[in-house]
Structure 1
Amino acid sequence: MSTRPVGTPTRGTTNPNRLRRMDRWIAAAHGPALRRAARPLAVDLGYGSAPWTTLELLRRLRTADPRCEVVGIEIDPARVAAAKPYAVEGLSFRHGGFELPVPEPPLLIRAANVLRQYEEGEVAAVWARLCGRLAPGGLLVEGTCDEIGRRHVWVALGPEGPRTVTFATRLGSLDRPSDLAERLPKALIHRNVPGEPVHAFLRDFDRAWAAAAPYASLGARQRWMRAVRELGRDWPLRDGPKRWRQGEVTVEWAALAPSNE
């Protein structure tokens, strides 16, 4: 008996290279786990109306491990049919949703710009369902970016739940760090109000950015790195200068989690 896919279709908006920041972080942060796996299987959930970002995910994961396989999953059967001509060895496309119709638990699930249309109260159940499908040592990366990938925020989750939040941006387009607030994932975007941890984090980030203004003469990257270093005095950051140089900063989820958790 066929089972109806779980979830609702996204708008389908997609552009080549849109998810490059997320993909580079995944390859760096999750590469060792991919290399240890007997079969490094990844899922691109809700890839949209065209498969460009799924093809790019395969290419970027294979810089970490050439054995990586990717399955693109879409709830809209027309999108799956349109993507199938792009299938190659190690890359396939399937009709489905949050139930993840793959032959074995994946080591990675990427869900970019999928939960934006859902209610905040629905996010925890989706996270739990997807995390429950992960292989041991697996990773779920769920987040939101703008149309051309200049600004991106994502949550990384393991089988036990959320671990970190990463903010990533094209530094030349940034006026101040709180500009990234518009790309917060659904679990946090409505929490950017006084009294909530994510609001305090972005407030402190803006203050550190302002204090680092003298470094702007050395370039936006140096100013960002100085601001992040200062931010790390009060917030539990999980990365270092190598990632900061990419226009990234990762903070522990527990520090930004909604105040009612």
Structure 2
Amino acid sequence: MTRAASLPQSRLRSNGGTPIVGTVTRGTTNPNRLRRMDRWIAATHGAELRRAGEPVAVDLGYGAAPWTAVELLGRLRTVAPRARVVGVEIEPARVAAARPYERAGLVFRHGGFEIPIPQRPMLIRAANVLRQYEEGEVAAVWERLRARLAPAGDGSRGGLLVEGTCDEIGRRHVWVALGPEGARTVTFATRLGSLERPSDLAERLPKALIHRNVPGEPVHAFLRDFDRAWAAAAPYASYGARQRWIRAVRELTAHWPVLDGPVRWRQGEVTVAWGALAPVR
């Protein structure tokens, strides 16, 4: 396993002189791009955020414009009114450009995977950040970010790291959720009207899985079975794509550890235990 110490270290330093860990991303971003991920976070992690009192969330690598951080604050506050968001970017010019958008509960900081804030965040969202890294570097990034999360205890499961990839306008998205103890789940989310078959989501698998969509790997078997369930559910298409998706996911539950239910399935989502899809070689 790649160790955290081997992560790429930028030549940049923070204002305090601390080395910044990571490399500059393309910075591509669009308003409302991460809405599916944000809504899932609010629905599944909202209780933990409220329990924290004044939870801090980090939008890591928000890109060339601050829209995703602004939107994250609004969505989190629907479930945790005292939530605060820190946008973290490795490119200093992007931080400077975002500063005019600061407001109560929203600030921007220069940094990378070291997460340059004193608090242990209840949430780190890293969307479309690891696509440019090598697969062998993912474990080290996850390890470093998990170490910065708020710890579990007193009935709390601790902070949550959500890392994944989506298309440019947020129609298709796949992410992994990790706690302080390690990876927990994989979620597939899509605008159902844009979907021909579930395996269309393969192109948006996060870096830890995208090169594993080959025979012999669990994620390949999962997408194969999902396509078969989707085909078998074709008669439900007359009731709409949502009903077809729900029927297909229900069929999947007979063979795969699906962890959510119809409320989330209706949103075009399905969440599976990480252990069932984790790479085997």
Structure-1-length-normalised TM-score = 0.99
1:72-129 per-position Cα deviation (integer Å, ceiling 9, x unaligned): 0000000000000000000000000000011210000000000000000000000000
For 1:39, which of 40, 54, 63 is the aligned residue?
54
Counting only pairs closer than 5 Å after superposition, residues 169-184 of structure 1 correspond to structure 2 as: 169-184=190-205
Preserved contact between residue 76 and residue 83 of structure 2 (Cα < 8 Å): yes
The within-5 A match list for 1:63-74 is 63-74=78-89
Shift of 1:163: 0.2
**2:240 alignment counterpart:** 219
Q: Secondary structure at the match of 1:64?
A: coil
Cα displacement string for residues 164-190 of structure 1 (whole angstroms, at most 9, x for unaligned residues): 000000000000000000000000000
Cα displacement string for residues 141-160 of structure 1 (whole angstroms, at most 9, x for unaligned residues): 00000000000000000001
Report whether the alignment pairs 1:57 with 2:78: no
Structural mapping, 1:1-261, within 5 Å: 2-136=17-151, 137-260=158-281
For these two proteins, the number of residue pairs brought into alignment is 260
- The CA distance in 2 between the partners of 1:251 and 1:177, in whole Å, is 14
Q: Distance in 2 between matches of 1:259 and 1:112?
A: 24
Give how far 1:13 is off.
Answer: 0.2
* Cα RMSD, aligned residues only: 0.6
Contact 2:21/2:114, CA 8 A, preserved across alignment: yes
Q: What CA distance in whole angstroms lies between the structure 2 residues aligned with 1:85 and 1:201?
A: 45
C-alpha separation in 2, matches of 1:73 and 1:20: 19
- Looking at structure 1, the residues matched to 263 and 53 of structure 2 have their Cα atoms a distance apart, in angstroms, of 29
Aligned to 2:6: none
SS in 2 for 1:5: strand
Deviation at 1:38, TM superposition (A): 3.0
TM-score normalised per structure 2 = 0.92
Contact kept, 8 Å, 2:58 with 2:121, in 1: the verdict is yes
> Which AA in structure 1 matches 2:57?
A
CA distance, structure 2, for counterparts of residue 117 and residue 259 of structure 1: 22
Deviating 4+ runs (over 6 angstroms): none
Give the Cα separation in 2 of the matches to 1:38 and 1:212: 44
Distance 2:67 2:253 in 1: 36
Q: Return the offset for 1:39.
A: 2.2
Q: Alpha-carbon deviation of 1:3?
A: 1.6
SS at match of 1:239: coil
SS at match of 2:68: helix
Could you tell me how far apart the structure 2 residues matched to 1:119 and 1:39 are? Answer: 35
Q: What secondary structure sits across from 2:20 in the alignment? A: coil
CA contact (8 A) 2:86 2:109 kept: yes
Comparing 4-13 and 202-211, the one that deviates more:
4-13
SS in 2 for 1:122: helix
Which amino acid counterpart does residue 41 of structure 1 have in structure 2?
A: V
Matched residue of 2:21: which SS? coil
Q: Deviations over 1:11-39 (max 9, x none)?
A: 00000000000000000000000010032
Rounded to whole Å, the distance in 2 between the matches of 1:131 and 1:219 is: 40
